[in-house]
Structure 1
Amino acid sequence: MFCGNCGKKLEDGDKFCGNCGKVQKQDNDTSNSNLEKSKIKPKSNKKIVLSLLGVGICALVFLLVFTFSSDKIKKLFSSSSETLVNDNGGSMNSKVSKPADSKISINQIDSSNFPEISVYFTAEDSNGKVLKNLTKNYMKIKETNSKNSVEEEILDLRQMNLNQPLSINLVMDTSDSMKGNKIDIAKTAARNFINSVQFNSGDSVELITFNESVSIAQGFTSQKDRIDGTLKNLSTNSETAFYDALNTSLVETSEKNGPKCIIAFTDGLDNKSKVTSEYVADLGKKLGIPIYIIGIGDDVDTNVLRDISEKTGGYFTHISDVEKLQQIYSDIFKKQKEQYILKYKTKNNVRDGIFRNVDLNLISERYVGSASESYLPKYAINPNVDPSTGYSSQYEMTGVERAMYDYQYNFVKAVNGYDFSVLSPYIDANGTLYNMQQKLIESYKKQSIQEKLVYYSIESTKKVSNDEYQLVVYEKFYITYDNKKPTLMEYRNIYTIKNTSNGFKVSDMPDLKVLNSTSVNYNF
């Protein structure tokens, strides 16, 4: 540093020249200079840090893009949108953190086309609104038996519509307690309900009435006027055989294909039935037919009726006023029409006669829900014992019982198809019954006779020899001649069954006795 006046060299920090005394001008002082430098340096470092940080973020984003698919990135960030099934059907974009609970109810499991299984179920939100447009991608189904549990492949899932035929068995109480105004209101409610049924789309209705006995007032029909006309003529009498009526309705309804249900009501305690409530509930569960029961008034056993309904996949409703019948009928009908049909082919195609459990789960972005129900593989009614003791399973038959079972059911098929070859494998070719039944079917064909087996039971079995048995069998048939009004025929016959080289066969019918012949309203 030098003096600006005389040029003498000065020491750093001298404020004036020692030679000429001139005050020296300071360049903002050394400390100011250092301060400025300190300010500049941090500014330079900040830019570097920000630049490095930006590079790092870019690298991270680049890594995410190449590491995850777009779906994985959506799941990684909670703010991303998803495609959801909404309340009204279709789909929408919405931000949902947790799926809402839904109510799934399995109404019926149909194994009539075993090993293909049809599961009929309803899906509703928390407000009872039906979930629409569900697809099989949203559903999972698992079948469990005594040995293993298998997730099954869903073949088809669709919602029923008005064109899907539905079979309804309407069971009405006509006991003495319904006399007067109650039966009139009940008849009107039933007739108004019939008006809502889609007969043009294949729906069919059967009308069963009961007091101390059970009557099939009108067999399954798609002709509205038949049901309507029968309802007009109903009258009341006697006591209450409600469980017997349910038993009859189950036997009748089990022969219908596709979705089916029983809607029944009673206003009193059962006091005349041969079968028990436990038997009816067990049979309904085996057949997979839901029973909806409406209890009216204070005399019904609500616990028993609720147990029957819940075990069969239906539900019980208790009302105080018979005038509410029509709305209940309509609500049940709507429930059946809005249900879904899910089909799968079970991987276990063995007809073992053992209950299998079905677990159904709905898993979507918007809703979750589950339901469980069990079924028997292609259960068939085998009415070979009196209903007061219960039917025995066809899988538990002796050889003699099985021979009678095969004969009874194939006899009807042979008669209605006028084809003896359907029946011949179950008859001893060397027995007297072989030619007799061949001629009978030829005669039926000429007269256009049709038959329907209602019921049969083996009343007694006698072993005549090691290879021969005699059975006393009670039988009940509907028979039509030239498509005229059917006749209900009751028989008590004696059959001879022999153990041939090809197994047990029906060989002879040494005695035939007609017990009863009654003209009835029935539509085959």
Structure 2
Amino acid sequence: MFCTNCGHKNDEHAKFCEDCGKPMQDEPTTQSLNQAPPPVTPTTKTGNKKSRPIVISALILVVCFSAGGIWYFQSQDKSPMSSKTEGESFNLVEESEETSREETQEKAKKKPTKESTEEIEEKNDTKTVKNKQALRMQISQIDNSAFPTMTLYTQIKDRNNQTIADIKKDTFEVKEIGPDGKEQNLAIKDILPVEESTEMNINLVLDQSGSMDEDNKINNAKVAASKFIDEILSNQNNHVEITSFDSYVHNVQAFSSDNQKLKQAIDSIELGDQTALYDALYDALIQTNQTTGARFVIAFTDGDENASLHSENEVIELSKQTGIPVYIIGIGSDINAAYLESFTASCNGDYYSAEVEDLSTVLLDIYEDIYSQQKDLYKVTYTSKANDKLDQYYTVSVSAAKKSAFNGQAKLEYMPQDNIAAIDNRNILDIIEAKTDVENVAVAIVDLKTNVEFRVGNARQSYVASGFYAPIYTVASTVDQDVADQMMKTMDNDAGNTLIDEFGGLSSVTDALSDQGYTQTTFNRKFGDVKASEAGNENYTSAVDSAKILRDIYDNDGYKNMNWDLTKDGIVLPANVKTYAHRGQGIGAAYNVFAIIETDDVKYGIAIMTAHTGSNNKEAQAVAVPMISDILAEVHKGMTGH
């Protein structure tokens, strides 16, 4: 296409001339696209002002010569006009018009100034924006498992909620904003639709609290979950984990693509008591974070949270750290729907409501709707340039490129490296089951860098607190620091009892621990009081409380006085670690280990509590020691990655 202003040949789709910057105009249909148009006489006021005086002068001369010519012709029979004069007169007109045309074209051909170029681009952008297609965009989840390669699972739909097809990578742009506010524009490596080959890992979290017995809700929920398993596993790349909860959390079946195992796990779920929803979601996020690909958690519940140790904010924070969304289905009318909508939105998921009537069908429809949403996503892959503060939040945005035909943007906070350990609960359970019943062992771990917790077995159940001096240190060390240090260094019963007395007695210790959130830790006898123990007055704690108390004494350096050598009992420690530990034996053949383990890269607290692994303390120790050695090795592998 040729510019009608300067004659420059442009691309046929150009909206502005590449040479003079003027808007392109459609040429007459009779004009050949390959033939330059004839020169156009400029019609600007400047050009007309230049040519008009010369034209008038020429006309006057013509009139004069004509009059003279009549007289001359009549008197001398000559031609009325001299060819030279006529020629000069018309040459003046032609030169004047040609000069005006050339000057105007020359002026038009000059490169636009910087200001005029920006004005043209602004007009071009404004014109383009008006014609852009508005998009509905959302970053559903982020996979940072291969950092610095990042994968954003992104919804890209039109106003009618239809997924846009055939998206190209140059259609969108990615930008990262660091904790310091610094922005970096990054190149998109690929933008591809989630296909059948894409791995999906879905954690189904099922409510087995006592209220699920009403209206046969538990059985209808099992039917829906089993049918959904069939749908998910129609893609052989998908895996499902079954988590259930009542007052406690149960890892019923680890991630698997075995349809039969998963359905057997669902069928095995039995009704319990209360509703520890937060704990179940927290554990599900921990386990799901060990997978790759598209990952999400779907839970259903028929009542409000009333039994968790983890808080709402801890679940939201873990969801943000891992980039894994949480979806919740509320069953029946006894649900705070507004709250769950807000909660799931904070977890980058969504909330669905289901009536009790025809529950199995409704649940299945919701499951399939969530699953369908995940399949309609695009995978946006790019390489992050984040190289520091990797454990802080960045913001990533995906937006339509300025030159694209679309207009839309999605943002999400994420952590480049969540540093959440890959501890496999299933492997630890296998170790326990090889030695004793799972009910006899509780394990809880706390990552002292991230504060993320891991629990295995009956981690929330109360066990005899043999060898656990840290609770007294936590609440009473400020009373007498020297006595507290002595107690921790040698597991000194007398020093511990002195602190208990100075603090106000056993009930005061228990109340203070409860006030700090350690509700499963109670002191009913003094250290070394065998008679009180035999009379049924025992000290109790849970592995969960123990791990949290270890975190507290780590924060105030109280752990550095824990110097029991676990290898004296035959426990094998991971290589190249520094260990601060206490251990204890007591009534009910209890054998407990409480330790903080450090390397240059990791720091974690671990509580391993056992009971009834033998008929006496000697037999119990013979079972517990090799089992604890294997558990420590498995936990350390998960913490360090090797």
Residues 456 and 473, structure 1, Cα contact 8 Å, conserved in 2: no
1:378 equivalent among 406, 414, 417 = 417
* Structure 1: distance between partners of 2:601 and 2:138: 45
Distance 1:151 1:298, change over 3 A: same
Residue 471 of structure 1: how far off its partner (Å): 3.1
2:277 equivalent among 242, 247, 257 = 242
- Alignment correspondent of 1:135: 168
Give 2:561's aligned amino acid.
Answer: V
Distance 1:196 1:503, change over 3 A: closer
1:99 equivalent among 92, 111, 132 = 132
- Alignment correspondent of 2:365: 327
Q: Any idea what SS the aligned residue of 1:273 has? A: coil
1:353 equivalent among 381, 391, 394 = 391
1:464 equivalent among 525, 539, 561 = 561
- Alignment correspondent of 1:229: 264
Distance 1:393 1:374, change over 3 A: farther
Write out aligned runs for 1:481-496 (5 A). Answer: 492-495=592-595
As a proportion of its length, which structure holds more strand? 1
* Structure 2: distance between partners of 1:362 and 1:235: 50
Q: Any idea what SS the aligned residue of 2:150 has? A: strand
- Alignment correspondent of 1:153: 187
Residue 289 of structure 1: how far off its partner (Å): 0.6
* Structure 2: distance between partners of 1:514 and 1:230: 26
Residues 281 and 307, structure 1, Cα contact 8 Å, conserved in 2: no
Distance 1:207 1:341, change over 3 A: same
Figure out how many residues of one structure are paired with residues of the other and give that number: 377
Residues 287 and 380, structure 1, Cα contact 8 Å, conserved in 2: no
The one of the two structures with greater contact order (alpha-carbon pairs below 8 A, sep at least 6) is: 1
Residue 392 of structure 1: how far off its partner (Å): 6.2
Q: Any idea what SS the aligned residue of 1:394 has? A: coil
Q: Please provide the CA RMSD for this pair.
A: 4.6
Distance 1:463 1:154, change over 3 A: same
Residue 504 of structure 1: how far off its partner (Å): 9.8
Residue 60 of structure 1: how far off its partner (Å): 6.6
Write out aligned runs for 1:402-441 (5 A). Answer: none
Q: Any idea what SS the aligned residue of 1:270 has? A: coil
As a proportion of its length, which structure holds more helix? 2
Give 1:378's aligned amino acid.
Answer: Q
Residues 458 and 471, structure 1, Cα contact 8 Å, conserved in 2: no
TM normalised by structure 2 equals 0.50
* Structure 1: distance between partners of 2:422 and 2:149: 25
Write out aligned runs for 1:23-42 (5 A). Answer: none
- Alignment correspondent of 2:406: 367
* Structure 2: distance between partners of 1:343 and 1:360: 11
Q: Give the unaligned 5+ runs of structure 1.
A: 1-44, 83-94, 402-453, 475-489, 518-524
Residue 514 of structure 1: how far off its partner (Å): 2.9
Distance 1:492 1:284, change over 3 A: farther
Q: Does 1:176 align with 2:214?
A: no
Q: Does 1:115 align with 2:157?
A: no
Q: Does 1:344 align with 2:382?
A: yes
Give 1:102's aligned amino acid.
Answer: L
- Alignment correspondent of 1:514: 610
Give 1:226's aligned amino acid.
Answer: K
Residues 149 and 382, structure 2, Cα contact 8 Å, conserved in 1: yes
Residue 396 of structure 1: how far off its partner (Å): 8.3
TM normalised by structure 1 equals 0.61
Q: Any idea what SS the aligned residue of 1:201 has? A: coil
* Structure 2: distance between partners of 1:121 and 1:272: 35
Q: Any idea what SS the aligned residue of 1:112 has? A: strand
Q: Any idea what SS the aligned residue of 2:231 has? A: coil
Q: Any idea what SS the aligned residue of 1:463 has? A: helix
Residue 232 of structure 1: how far off its partner (Å): 2.9
Distance 1:231 1:516, change over 3 A: farther
Q: Any idea what SS the aligned residue of 2:287 has? A: helix
Distance 1:345 1:241, change over 3 A: same
